[in-house]
Amino acid sequence: MQNESPIVVDIKNVVKNYKQGQLEVAALRGLSLSIERGEFVAICGPSGSGKTTVLNLIGALDTPTSGEIIVDGKQLSQLSRTALSRLRRDRIGFVFQAYNLIPVLTAYENAESVLALQGVDLKVRRARVMELLAAVGLEGLENRRPDHLSGGQQQRVAIARAIAASPAVVLADEPTANVDSETAERLLSIMEKLNQDHGVTFIFSTHDPRVMARAHRLVQLVDGQIVKDEKRN
């Protein structure tokens, strides 16, 4: 789109409170953050700092107590449940630390699932999925189910699935948490290459120093507030 805004995510003065019994706990305290298309951003901080909450709000998996969140030009609070579901399906890719693959589907079928839901032509989606599986180093493993793939290979399937529909942004919640160091570095290299070669926007929540070292922008949270926002290049 010619008039597409350079800002893909705009968080404006967001507060998020959770109920814990009779208590109300503040997860985010008036947080504001703008992320441009093509960025490779890590949101970091100690456990309980609010980093996963930020990703859940951007991904429309949760709603803020107050404030505004705009994703790909859409103000989330103004969208119906159907429109939110469509936005998640078409414009937001998700990579979870637990992979969240469908056990009975092959690597190919998992990676293809979003395109199938969108009704993309069979020949078009086959070409796209095979290209992506090759890009993440899974050529020849298309017909394996998750229980016949290593943790790192499952996470690569999840990455292929996340970017298959060319989303506006990919949200990666602790994507290296369940893999060894060598696999983590390989996964990060794959995502960094997708960012550099295809302009895929990545937002990580992490406390992994390896992810923080690779990030082109580091946003540090403490107690639901940004204490540091550093661009590396």
The residue type found at 125 is R
Confidence band for 1, pLDDT divided at 50, 70 and 90 = very low
55-75 exposure pattern, b = at least 16 Cβ within 10 A, e = fewer: bbbbbbeeebeebebbbbebe
What distance in Å separates the CA atoms of residue 64 and residue 56, rounded to the nearest whole number?
10
> Which are the contacts of 19, defined by CB distance < 8 A and separation ≥ 6?
25
3-state secondary structure (DSSP) of residue 9: strand
Q: Tell me, what's the pLDDT at 2?
A: 46
Q: Tell me, what's the pLDDT at 92?
A: 95
Q: What's the mean pLDDT when you consider all of the chain?
A: 92
Pair 17, 45: CB distance under 8 Å = no
CB-facing half-sphere around the CA of 65: CA atoms within 13 A = 14
Q: Tell me, what's the pLDDT at 21?
A: 84
Residue 173 or residue 232, greater confidence: 173
**Across the chain, how many H-helices and E-strands are there?**
7, 10
Q: What is the pLDDT of residues 113-162, one digit of tens each?
A: 999 999 999 999 999 999 999 988 899 999 999 999 999 999 999 999 99
3-state secondary structure (DSSP) of residue 156: helix
Mind listing the domains of the chain with CATH numbers?
37-63+80-231 (3.40.50.300)
What distance in Å separates the CA atoms of residue 220 and residue 51, rounded to the nearest whole number?
9
Confidence band for 3, pLDDT divided at 50, 70 and 90 = low
Q: Tell me, what's the pLDDT at 186?
A: 87
Distances (CA, A) of 172 to 9, 89, 116, 184: 15, 15, 22, 13
Q: What is the pLDDT of residues 29-65, one digit of tens each?
A: 999 999 999 999 999 998 889 999 999 999 999 999 9
> Token pair for residue 94?
């998700």
Is residue 96's pLDDT more than 50?
yes
Is residue 19's pLDDT more than 60?
yes
pTM of the prediction?
Answer: 0.91
Q: What is the pLDDT of residues 174-221, one digit of tens each?
A: 888 888 888 889 889 989 988 998 889 999 999 999 999 999 999 999
The residue type found at 148 is H
